[in-house]
Structure formats: C-alpha cells, structure tokens
Amino acid sequence: MRRIQKPELLAPAGNMEKLHMALLYGADAVYLGGKMFGLRAFASNFSLAEMDEAVAFAHSLHKKVYVTVNIFAHNEDINALPDYLRSLQAIGVDALLVSDFGVWSVAREIIPEMPLHVSTQANTTNWAAVKAWENLGASRVVLARELSFREMKEIGSKTEVELEAFVHGAMCISYSGRCWLSSYLTGRDGNRGACAQVCRWEFSLTEKNRPGEVYDVAGDDQGTYIMNSKDLCLLPYLPQLMEAGICSFKIEGRMKSAHYAASVVSVYRRAIDACWRDPQHFTVKQEWLDELEKVSHRPYTTGFALGKPDAAAQVYTTSSYLQTHEFVGLVRDWDNGRLTVEQRNHMKAGETLEVFCPDGSLRTLLLKEMRNQEGEPIVAAQHPQMVFTCQAAESIPESAILRRKIP
C-alpha cells in the first residue's frame, strides 16, 4: 500500500539566478541542465563549476538538485558521457533525470549509487512500464503528461517507486516531447535539446499545383496556430494529485524568467502547504490565481488530467503570452532606510511599484530619492541591470521583486 506523503515542490532552474529565486521562494528541489546532454540547450544552463556552486547553495538550505541527462543520445554523445557522469557524482548532485536506455545503462555502470529518475521524455503512461523501471532500479518515474488523474491513481496503487508529475507550465504538442518537427524544418533537433518550437508557428495551407496561393487553415484573417497548446495549471487539483500518490509536483520553465520562477513557486508552495494541512477543505485563493496571471503565460488548461483535452485546450489566433505585471527590479539589500536595487526594466522617480517578497507577501514602494552607485541623484534607472538606491523607510528583504502593473 503506497503511503501518501507531503509532495516535494520541484522547480526549474535555467541559470544560477533562477535557481536562487526558486529555492528562496519555496521550492524543495530544482532541476537543471549542464552544458551537455540536456533537453534545454538554449537555456543558459550550468558549467560544472556553476553546478558545484548550485549544489552547495541548495544543500546549505537542505534542498536538492537534480540534473537532466535526458537527450535521446547518438553514438558521439555516449562517447563523452562517462567522464561527465563521474563529474556529476563528484559534485554531489542528488539525482539524474534520464530518458534514453543507453544513457541509463552507462549511468548504472559508471555511477551505480547515483539515484536515477526516469524523465517524462520516456513517455511512461502505464503501471507496467513504471514497474519495469522500478525493477531496473529507478528511484523515481516522471509520468507522461498524457495521463488523467484516474490513470495516475491506478499507477500509484500498483507500484511503489516515487512518482513525479507536471503541475504547471508549457505543454508540448507532441507525445511526451518526442517531436521531429524542429529537426525536419530547421535542422535543430528537439530530442537533443535544440527545439525551435515549430508548433508555436503560424501555419497556412498551400496546394501542390498552386504554389503561389496560400490559404488560411481557418476562416480568420490572422491565420491559425493549429498546434499551440495552452499552459498547464493544476493548482485547483492538488488533493487529487496527492491522492494519486504523486510525491513530487513539477513546474515546467527552465527558459522562463526569474520572476516566473519566483511567482509560480511561491503560489504552489502556499497551496501545497494549505492542502497538506487540510485536503478535505482545500480551496484555491483568489490571490494565488491573481499571482499566476502576473507572470508571462498562455491561457491555462488542465491538459489530460480530467480526460482527453478538446479543441478548447489550444490557442488558434496567436502565440503571444499574457501577463498583468512586468518585472522591473530585484532587491539586493536594505540598510538604514535605503534600498539597493538591481534594475531589470526602466524605472523612474515618482512611480509606485508592487513589492513581491519571498514569503509571498505584497507591499508597495514609492520610488523617491534615487541615487546611483556614486551617490549622485538620478531621476530614472535606464541602463540594463544598473544598481541604484532609493528611500525605503521599512526593511524589505533581499531578493524581493519589484514590478509594475502593465497598463
């Protein structure tokens, strides 16, 4: 009988800043990629030295770091793999995410004590497959996104291995991310980390014998985005996920901003804690939903969780993102009535900004008495990542986010 446990909140970390923000805003663990062997080649990713620093920081907070080694490997990839695996073990990462059986076999031989998690790229959709991975020594299986709560629960009832599932973020149009569109149309292999997101492009129809004539797929003068999925959001369904035996709730988004990492993690941290305290009376607070609207996202969907999605799960008119607020600054320090801020977007004296703190609380800040690093008065912070100070009577914590409402 599977024991229900408080689930881990697992967040993406595309670079060091995003890792810090995810952990400070409430994640229990992060997953990240190195410069090789991961499926997000266009994220900043981590050198081995940076990974060493990341692991040390996470472990100082008693939190974990998982590293993606989840490409579908070719021969030249396998040749370079053993030394890389040994380096990851020496750094002290907590687990590896693997999808390719060849990579799995090499990892088992080279670093036999390292916990291995089966990546969602392995498209594990049934209890027999989960049990097979369990028998091969998997510490955890990340379930395919194409599963309903009912299917997850059945898998949980027939297996013992840890189960992880995505709860929030972008959805891939192809089965568990196994897609060849990018490779075919651009030469960038999505299964080796270089996806061009062809599914988000606008498509029209042509007929072979009329090469100069282009027709919209749907009757709309803006064309149509026929493979453009909405973003996943399972915030209202945390009790069902816990009941299904999911032990790790995963947020997608290594390519997203530090603001996104902090905001989404903060919401799910508070929601998980509330649900664990009283799952029978769990309700989604409006402030959580408002927070999820503030970051860049597509309209939300429940994906496959409630059954097979219908046409409403797609966005047919645009691939643009929605958001109500923009990230303009990051708090670096507060001392004796002055706030030190690192600029992320243009700010000027006289503006009133929202302050989003690591504990999820909100405040307001009126920008006044702005000074540059030389102590000279300024009327605006215009230069990318410039550091300035401003007056702030009350203490504001380090790593708090400054943002403004988009008109």
Span 8-171+229-306: which CATH code?
A: 3.20.20.70
* Mean local confidence (pLDDT), 14-29: 97
163, 116 in Cβ contact below 8 A?
no
Beta bridge pairs of residue 140: 117, 162
How far apart are alpha carbons 372 and 386 in whole angstroms?
8
Cα→Cα distances 152→57, 117, 126, 244, 301, Å: 33, 17, 8, 6, 18
Domain residue extents for the chain: 8-171+229-306, 176-216, 325-405
Q: Is the pLDDT at 5 greater than 60, yes or no? A: yes
The stretch 121-132 carries a mean pLDDT of 95
Cβ atoms of residues 309 and 230 within 8 Å: no
Of the listed ranges 40-54, 107-121, 128-142, the one predicted with least confidence: 40-54
Which of 213-217, 255-259, 275-279, 286-290 is predicted with the least confidence, judged by mean pLDDT? 213-217
Which of 218-227, 262-271, 321-330 has the weakest average pLDDT?
218-227
Question: Rounded to the nearest 10 degrees, what angle do helices 75-91 and 101-110 cross at?
Answer: 40
Interstrand relation of 338-343 and 387-391 (parallel, antiparallel or unpaired): antiparallel
Contact 178, 191 (CB under 8 A): yes
End-to-end Cα distance, the chain: 53
Q: What is the mean pLDDT of the chain?
A: 89
> Which residue, 321, 288, 35, is CA-closest to 167?
288
Q: Which of 79-83, 114-118, 236-240 has the lowest mean pLDDT?
A: 79-83
Question: From CA 294, how far away is CA 154, in angstroms rounded?
Answer: 36
> Tell me, what's the pLDDT at 26?
98
Phi-psi sector, 99: left (phi>0), alpha (psi -120 to 50), beta: alpha
Positions of E strands within 69-186: 95-98, 116-118, 140-142, 162-169
Instruction: Return the pLDDT at 35.
Output: 84
Q: Identify residue 334 by its one-letter amino acid code.
A: W
pLDDT surpasses 80 at 315? no
Please report which confidence band the pLDDT of residue 219 belongs to, taking 50, 70 and 90 as the band edges. very low
DSSP summary character for residue 176: G
Residue type, 247: C
Cα-Cα-Cα-Cα dihedral sign, residues 48, 119, 19, 198: positive
pLDDT in tens, 344-395: 999 999 999 999 999 999 999 999 999 999 999 999 999 999 999 999 999 9
The rounded distance, in Å, linking the Cα atoms of 376 and 399 is 24
- What's the pLDDT band for 45 if we cut at 50, 70, 90? confident
Q: What percent of the chain has pLDDT over 70?
A: 83
Element (DSSP H or E) covering residue 335: strand 325-335
Does the pLDDT at position 203 exceed 80?
Answer: no
Q: Quote the pLDDT of residue 321.
A: 74
Per-residue pLDDT at 390: 97
Range 162-166 average pLDDT: 97
Query: Could you give the CA distance from residue 111 to residue 99 in angstroms, rounded to a whole number?
Result: 16
The predicted model scores a pTM of 0.87
Higher pLDDT, 183 or 134: 134
Give the least confident one: 41-45, 230-234, 261-265, 317-321: 41-45
What pLDDT shows up at residue 309?
76
Beta carbons of 120 and 304 less than 8 angstroms apart = no
Superfamily of domain 325-405: Translation factors (2.40.30.10)
Closest Cα partner for 104 from 135, 127, 125, 126?
Answer: 135
314 pairs with which residues across the strands?
A: 229
Q: What distances in angstroms separate CA 260 from CA 11, 12, 25, 169, 193, one per listed residue?
A: 11, 10, 11, 10, 21
- Residue 327: alpha-carbon gap to chain centroid: 17
Lowest mean pLDDT across 45-54, 92-101, 320-329, 376-385: 320-329
Q: What is the DSSP letter of 298?
A: P
> What is the edge-to-edge ordering of all strands in the sheet holding 387-391?
362-366, 352-356, 401-405, 325-335, 338-343, 387-391
Within its chain, how far is the Cα of 333 from the centroid? 27
**pLDDT band of 151, cuts 50, 70, 90:** very high
**What pLDDT was estimated at residue 227?**
66
